[in-house]
Amino acid sequence: MSDPQRIVVLTRAGLGDAVYVIPALRALRQRFPEAHITVITGKRGYPLLQRCPYLNALHLRHLGNGLLGKLREIVRLRRGRYDLAVILDNSDEKALHTFLAGIPRRVGGVKRYFARLLTDPVPVEPDAHRINDINRAVVARLGCDIADWRLELFPDPKASVSLPAKLEQAGWHGERPLVGINPGASAPNKRWFPERFAQVADALLETGVQVLLLGAKADLPQVQAVLQAMKHSPINLAGQLSLDELIVCLGTLDVLISGDTGPSHLAAAVGTPVVGLFGPSSARHYAPLGEQHVIIDRSSLCAPTCSFWTCRGDNRACMRSIVAEEVVNVTRQILMRNPVHS
């Protein structure tokens, strides 16, 4: 087929997912420099892609709930007159929508039922990273060069001015090392226990390590539970940062301690080491990428049967097996081997 003139890229919805969309878009732009590239993504990933220079248009995926919303999505795809659909996912629904929209070439990961609806189905290896490796394989099928697969983000430059003022107001005056703790996660069964985050924070503070609590406004109940369980007072910016300020802040840290959630992937993208706490989700499928990270993976204790419905509250053997002492030790190991920021 001749080079496409109009490309639509359909992605997963999450913030962390969007981190790995950017190198795929860069590869597509290099392969098809004259094409008009439209990205359709979810609400959480949308803000991260707004300043990405490799696309021409960005849209939110959902146009409504239920069958009517799906029909609207199909109509929008058809009206786009796209030559090529690039599905950075192994979603049956996205494959069906692009087929019904009549897009001539449809490339995406294979899942279960609708592989035949793709003109270029891309098999997904069982041990593959469910976000990064699928994206690489899909764009590679199109002849894109995937040798340059570095992660990059594009925060608003104004955040580099506004963040230092917020850090100073919260009580940080440049002391090092600085460790961030992100206790929230979109799925409750992926959250570690507040009292254990508190134990880690207190242990670090007692040895001269500065601790900064982070989180979105939706994470404030978890952050408050951590604060109530602590003996010492950390720096707290939870619920106070924009996404752009969060990205800059993560780049300021010496280490981030986090569960399986978007900020861990943002930290990886800006080069900050992550201590990742994984239980219900497999680290090999969803952990932030990079040799600088230490991932504590307990998914073998209950996955793949662990889910939001079967693994809730305190009845989480996977997360409960992660103890505070272990997290403190690996955090100190990272701090010892990596020079702190100047």
* pLDDT > 90 in the chain, percent: 84
- Is 163 found in the same domain as 136? no
- Is 165 found in the same domain as 114? no
pLDDT in tens, 321-331: 999 999 999 99
Q: Which domain does 163 fall in, by range?
A: 159-337
Residue 150 lies in a domain: no
Sheet (strand 84-88) strand order: 57-60, 36-41, 6-11, 84-88, 105-109, 120-122
CATH number at residue 34: 3.40.50.2000
The CA-atom distances, in angstroms, between 105 and each of 1, 54, 141 are: 9, 21, 12
So what's the pLDDT on residue 342?
Answer: 45
Among the three residues 88, 111, 141, which one is the final residue of a domain in this structure?
A: 141
Among the three residues 115, 141, 167, which one is the final residue of a domain in this structure?
A: 141
Token readout for 225 is 């539970």
- Is 116 found in the same domain as 197? no
pLDDT in tens, 55-111: 999 999 877 778 888 999 999 999 999 999 999 999 999 999 999 999 999 999 997
Contact predicate 50/82, CB 8 Å: no
- Is 189 found in the same domain as 266? yes
Residue 149 lies in a domain: no
Contact predicate 94/87, CB 8 Å: yes
pLDDT in tens, 111-143: 777 889 999 999 988 889 999 999 999 999 999
- Is 76 found in the same domain as 212? no
**What is the rounded (10 degree) CA torsion for 28, 32, 33, 39?**
-50
**Residue 53 φ/ψ, nearest 5 degrees:** -80, 0
Least confident interval from 148-152, 259-263, 299-303, 327-331? 299-303
Beta bridge pairs of residue 16? none
What is the DSSP secondary structure assignment for residue 142, as one 8-state letter? T
pTM of the model as a whole: 0.94
Helices 220-229 + 194-205 axis angle, to 10:
60
- Choose among 55, 239, 231: nearest CA to 154: 55
- Choose among 52, 51, 45, 152: nearest CA to 88: 45
When divided into structural domains, the chain yields a total of: 2
pLDDT in tens, 259-285: 999 999 999 999 999 999 998 888 999
Residue 269 lies in a domain: yes
